[in-house]
Amino acid sequence: MTEALILPTTRDEAWRYSDVAALEGMDLSTFDDWRDIEVPAGESFRDVIAITDENTGPDETVLHRLRVRLGEGARCELFGLIAAGRLGRVEVVVTLARGSHFELGGVTVGGRETTREFVTRMAHEEPEATSNQTVRSVHWGKGTGNFLGRIDVVRNAQKTDAAQSFKGLLLEKGASVNSVPQLEIFADDVKCAHGAAIGQLDESARFYMASRGLSPDLSRRLLVQAFIGDAFVALDDEEQREALMQAALDKLDRHL
Amino acid sequence: MLKIENLHAEIDGKAILKGLTLEVQPGEVHAIMGPNGAGKSTLAYVLGGRPGYEVTEGSVTFGGKDLLDLEPHERAAAGLFLGFQYPVEIPGVSNVQFLREALNAQREERGEEKLTGGEFLKLAKEKAGLLKLDMDMLKRHVNVGFSGGEKKRAEMVQMGILDPQFAVLDETDSGLDIDALRVVGDGINAIMRQPDKGVLLITHYQRLLEVVKPDKVSILSDGRIVRTGGPELAMQLEEEGYDRVMETA
């Protein structure tokens, strides 16, 4: 017997800024397909998710839902670019055992009427685990970029170090970005840093760059490259890093 | 090579330049001195084309072209360099990448071959050496974490690499100690003291002019050039102050 699927609404915290109407356009039988990733104690795992025009149509809805369980001292690195589709969403739920580390580097770019979002939940269930999340969103047109990051630190998870950094860059009026950090901390000896900043391109930097001969397009490209670069700094495979950067910047070049 | 005629400019509706006329010939270093608020930096920004600085009257021709008709990046490609009083920090972009892209964008605009990475690094090394700036500084992000003096030296390294026809240097001497002043001044001489190049040197003080000897000195006051003379005018200003010199203008 299959249970009827109840689609989320924007009243659900994790879908608050999402485009829930876009879900109707997807194959709903896959809605609850979670990918489970187990990283055994002491081992490392890395994955790169790229939602781009090469694998996703302009009106498609693409969900990546991942459940990651980290064993003691394990490490998981996830890097993602969401640059295509009407709704692109990467959802990650991570459970961290003692001394493990989770790293997320995410970038959303987009214009038109699109929504691209990272939604994460870190469950620090044992002491001494660390997590670091860096998300950068660059939007124009009526594009929306979201980062909803929840961090739960249970009572005995002392020496947890969980960091979250979000920055949004709005290239045109009409675009928007949303950041919702949600921290629930029940241990008393922890470090949980989160920061969010939203802005536009720095006009004094653009004039400075123009005065050296860079056209408005070139200066924007350089500044955006610097901006999103933060999210992929921790990716030490240079080829993968370059490919992600290139795909993000190409998107910008094609549409602006 | 640079001819400014009856230039009027305003910021947010406030008139700052009020009929400024000035000409710089090839091979000339022309110093502009003047009290605070006279419009020195405004002049520099108007020549560079900074958004928000509106020209309401007058003309500027540069090498026969209407400078005011060009976009800021086109002015650079045409051979104009603007040295900033407060160079801007650009986190995430290295000097090397920034300058290579800028130089190649200028070369492309002029229909010249782009430089390869190797050719560019060789050029950058040479110019950094000239300004006694450690090459490692050029690998760092543009002006980020640079001291005031380092920013000004980096500014001159940029000028050396871009090799402009004409430089407008806005208080390049501010924030420099005596030794750095000498290095920067020598750099300006080495890069710009050529028969086909010109410099507009905006400064508060006489001390830079002891290293970069101007051919002409003009005093800017309340948006106009009130007096032009030879290098002796700068000496007189230093001794007597703006008020007295302008009284006798």
* A55-86 per-position pLDDT tens digit: 999 999 999 999 999 999 999 999 999 999 99
Q: What is the mean pLDDT of residues A177-193?
A: 95
d(CA B70, CA B82): 15
Question: What is the rounded CA–CA span in Å between residue A78 and residue B121?
Answer: 35
From chain A, the residues in CB contact with B77 under 8 A are 213
Give whole-number Cα distances, A49 to A66, A106, B148, in Å: 11, 9, 43
Interface test with A, best of B74, B100, B101 (most A CBs within 10 A): B101
Chain B contact present for A197, CB below 8 A: no
Proportion of chain A above pLDDT 70, given as a percent: 98
Q: Under an 8 A CB cutoff, do A229 and B92 touch? A: yes
ipTM of the complex: 0.95
Q: Which of B50, B85, B93, B109 should one mutate to test binding to chain A, selecting the residue with the greatest count of A CBs within 10 A?
A: B93
- A&B contacts, CB < 8 Å: 75
Read off the pLDDT band of B205 (50, 70, 90). confident
Domain ranges of chain A: 13-199
Which residues make Cβ contacts (< 8 Å) with residue A173, sequence separation at least 6?
A: none
- The total number of residues written for chain A in this structure: 256
Of the pLDDT bands very low, low, confident and very high (cuts 50, 70, 90), residue B248 is low
* pLDDT over 50 (residue B58): yes
Residue type, A169: L
CB spacing of B51 vs A226 below 8 angstroms: no
Give which of A228, A236, A193, A253 is closest to A116, Cα–Cα. Answer: A228
**Could you report the per-residue pLDDT of A186-231, keeping only the tens digit for each?**
999 999 999 999 999 999 999 999 999 999 999 999 999 999 999 9
pLDDT, averaged across chain B = 94
Of B82, B89, B90, the CB nearest to A211: B82
Could A207 and B75 be called an inter-chain contact, meaning their C-beta atoms sit closer than 8 Å?
no
Sign of CA dihedral B233, B237, B239, B243: positive
The rounded distance, in Å, linking the Cα atoms of B140 and B124 is: 13
Contact B50 A207 (CB under 8 A): yes
Which residues in chain B are closer than 8 Å to A205, comparing Cβ atoms? 88-90
Task: Check CB contact under 8 Å for B102 and A214.
Answer: yes
The mean pLDDT of B104-114, rounded to a whole number, is 94
Chain A residue with minimum CA distance to B141: A226
Tell me: the pLDDT tens digits for A140-158?
999 999 999 999 999 999 9
Taking CA atoms, B161 is separated from A134, B2, B63, B153, in Å, by 36, 22, 21, 12
Residue A3: which pLDDT band, with cuts at 50, 70 and 90? Answer: low
The closest CB to that of B51, out of A203, A213, A215, belongs to A203
* Cβ–Cβ below 8 Å for B77 and A213: yes
Q: Which residues of B touch A (CB under 8 A)?
A: 48-51, 71-73, 75-77, 81-82, 84, 87-93, 97-99, 101-103, 105-106, 109, 158, 162
Nearest-neighbour CA in chain A from B164: distance (Å): 10
Q: Do B72 and A230 touch (CB under 8 A)?
A: no
Cα-only R_g, chain A: 19
Alpha helices in chain B (DSSP H): 40-48, 72-77, 95-109, 117-130, 135-139, 148-162, 178-192, 232-247
Q: Which residues in chain B are closer than 8 Å to A222, comparing Cβ atoms?
A: 90, 93, 97-98, 101
Closest CA to A214 of B160, B107, B143, B87: B107
Domain range summary for chain B, segments of one domain joined by +:
2-247
Using CA atoms, how far residue B179 sits from B173, B176, B182, B208, in Å, is 11, 8, 5, 11
Q: Do A207 and B103 touch (CB under 8 A)?
A: no
* CATH class in words for B2-247: alpha beta
Residue A248 parent element (H or E):
helix A238-255
Q: Output the pLDDT for position B243.
A: 82
Q: Are strands B216-221 and B224-229 parallel, antiparallel or unpaired?
A: antiparallel
* Phi, psi dihedral angles at A157 (to 5 degrees): -85, 60
